[in-house]
Amino acid sequence: MAEAERIIGTPDIPEAAGTGPERFPEERPAGTRQAGTQPSSEELPATDGTADAERPRGRRKLPVLFAVAVFAYLLDLVSKTIVVAKLEHHAPVSVIGDALKFEAIRNPGAAFGVGAAFTVIFTCIAAVVIFVIARLARKLYSVPWAIALGLLLGGALGNLTDRIFRSPSPFQGAVVDFISVAHFSVFNLADSAICCGGVLIVLLSFRGLDPDGTLHRD
């Protein structure tokens, strides 16, 4: 009997379809790839130059830009209105001896009295600056950049308002300047806002901070 069982043996039972090792592959630790497969896009290293930079976060800083621009513009507009009403055609007012005076002057040129013969050109340049700032505002995620561009925008709008609406004619109007510093040109608050915004932009660029909030570590 034992010899018969040895000869006959146990019949082979075929494996059920789908129950072989190919259906239950060996479990792999998380984050590993099966041999012979291509890496996914998440596993590939960054190639857009952002590996050493902090990406922007949060919402666009348009409210900051507009708030700074409106403040700078209104401050310039109010100061010029007072100067025209109280100082024009009057003697200069001494603030700190001869070092600082308030003196109403009509300037047809650029900031600090430069280029008086190119009033229309400077009017066009101011309009272009405003357009460029509006374009940059679409990707503005940095508060310092929002402040800098807001100062530029407010100052440019302040002087552009003078060039459009003041005498002698539209788009050729003379800008009202009144801050007179000894051994320096006469300027206004719009000029100051433009200069402060420009200096801040230079500092931010040296620091490696972009308008979209990206901070470059290199």
Amino acid, res. 58:
G
Which among 12, 98, 191, 218 is annotated as catalytic? Answer: 191
CA atoms within 13 A on the CB side of 130: 17
Amino acid, res. 9:
G
Q: Rounded to an integer, what is the distance from CA 83 to the centroid of its chain? A: 33
Alpha-carbon distances, residue 15 vs 12, 18, 20, 26, 178 (angstroms): 9, 8, 7, 19, 97
Which among 177, 210, 212, 218 is annotated as catalytic? Answer: 177
Q: Is 177 helix (H, G, I), strand (E, B) or coil?
A: strand
Q: Could you tell me if 193 and 114 are in contact, meaning their C-beta atoms sit under 8 angstroms apart? A: no
Residue 212 a catalytic site member: no
Residue 169 has a CB neighbour count (10 Å cut-off) of 9
Residue 191 a catalytic site member: yes
Question: Partners of 144 in the beta sheet?
Answer: none
Three-state secondary structure of 94-118: EEECCCEEEEEEEECCCHHHCCCCC
Q: Which residues are catalytic?
A: 177, 191
